[in-house]
Chains A and B, each alone.
Chain A
Amino acid sequence: MIKSTNQYLRVVEALKNDDEVIKEIPPSHIWDDIQSSIQDSAPIKKDNLVLLHKNKNKYKDKDRNLDFKKLAIASAAVFLIAFTSTYMIQTRLTDSGFELAALSDFKGSATAELDSRSLTIETDGLEPIEDSFYEVWLLELDETGEVSDLISVGNITSDGVFNLPSGTDIDKFSTVDISIEPNDGNETHSGNSVLRGVVV
């Protein structure tokens, strides 16, 4: 069934369009460049990720089902502080979820809201970067605060609501991370995280 009038009209419009695209054989160096970009890609380097905190479970399971909006109103500035010997991160609740803290001297900011099927990210001040993009990740940390698993949720340039891959166990992921990824075809985390927040 045609799902929407808009979609139907797009199909009909496209059927009437007589614009022609002329196929063009690409020069061989393009495949060579793609291949070398792919082969230069390093394997997943979880070690590159900054250690976050050691007490994730202290906050992870607590209050997950609370109404965050009410909580935010009741306590205007609630800070959940996750401490680690190598990193400190503050996660502040907002009307629309929780804030991601800027790492290092990064100027942008973001809030996130995670449910069983999607992750909603709202950002502010994420300046476009030449040949790079912003990517959103969910991180699982082990008891020592090391990253033990991670999944890419999507690129921020496309959408603010990211549908999680089916079967994603959100309980295992304690942290939302935004990184700057060079546009080099390497699918692994660059290690260049700029925003991060503990899921609450």
Chain B
Amino acid sequence: MTSVSLEPQRYKGFSDGNEAALKEIFQEHSPLILGLSRKLVGEDAEDLLQTVFLSAWKNRKQYDPARGSMKSWLCGITRFRAIDLLRKNSSNQSTSIKDTDVFADADSLADQDVDKIVDALVIKEALKELPSNKKRLLEMGFIQQLSHKEIAEITSMPLGTVKSTIRRGLELLEIELEGSLD
């Protein structure tokens, strides 16, 4: 069984407070997080980037590689911090935090847009890490909209193998998506 979220050894000290590990993580992931931030909050992107990494550092003990990659986790932090920022910027928030349901009533268009953009990024980045056979079959199934039978014919793979490979690929992607929602 293929496993995902095998993080580089250099991340190992991150949860224990190793600043060098944070720097490695920043160097590796900040271009993506800044790009995502730019798409979500525009000119506030650099502030959001900084907030995301400070928040990641503060909550580093909550990071669990078994529940998704570092990239997905950072995208998840970006998701929630961006929603915070967008809400703050719109409507001069007079609403109070009530019953801790801040995200439960996240039904504004901005929030949904944020979710879609972050989901798409997390899945696309995770897709890059998948074994090529799973990646290919998933793309054929969900992007090219081919049926399992058509995929089996094109690839000369048994139908059962196509189905199980696609299902396993989706499971791996789901782990990443879940990791971005922690």
Interface string of B110-129 (1 = CB under 8 A from A): 00000011011111100100
Interface residues of A in 25-39 (CB under 8 A from B): 25-27, 30-31, 33-35, 37-38
Contacts A13-B119, A22-B38, A126-B97 aside, 8 further interface pairs with beta carbons under 8 A come to: A14-B124, A15-B139, A17-B120, A23-B32, A25-B31, A160-B99, A160-B100, A187-B58
How many positions in chain A have a CB within 8 Å of any CB in the partner chain?
49
Which of under 10, 10 to 19, 20 to 34, or 35 or more describes the interface residues of B? Answer: 35 or more
Beta-carbon nearest neighbor of B104 in chain A: A160
Q: Are B123 and A15 in contact (CB under 8 A)?
A: yes
Q: Is A146 an interface residue (CB 8 A)?
A: no
Q: List 20 A-B contacts (CB under 8 A).
A: A7-B174, A13-B119, A15-B138, A15-B173, A18-B120, A19-B117, A21-B32, A25-B30, A25-B31, A26-B31, A26-B49, A30-B46, A30-B49, A31-B26, A126-B96, A128-B93, A156-B97, A157-B80, A158-B102, A183-B54
Verify B57–A123 contact, CB threshold 8 A. Answer: no
A51 to B26, CA, bound (A): 39
The main secondary structure of chain B at its interface with chain A is helix
Contact of A14 with B177 at beta-carbon distance under 8 Å, contacts A2-B171, A26-B30, A160-B101 already known: yes
Chain A residues engaging chain B, CB cutoff 8 angstroms:
1-3, 7-8, 10-19, 21-27, 30-31, 33-35, 37-38, 121-128, 134, 156-160, 165, 183-187
Q: A2: which of B58, B96, B174 is its contact (CB, 8 Å)?
A: B174
Point out the residue from B84, B98, B103 that lies within 8 Å of A123, measured CB to CB: B98
Tell me which of B31, B50, B101, B119 contacts A14 (CB under 8 A).
B119
Is B165 interfacial (CB-CB < 8 Å)?
no
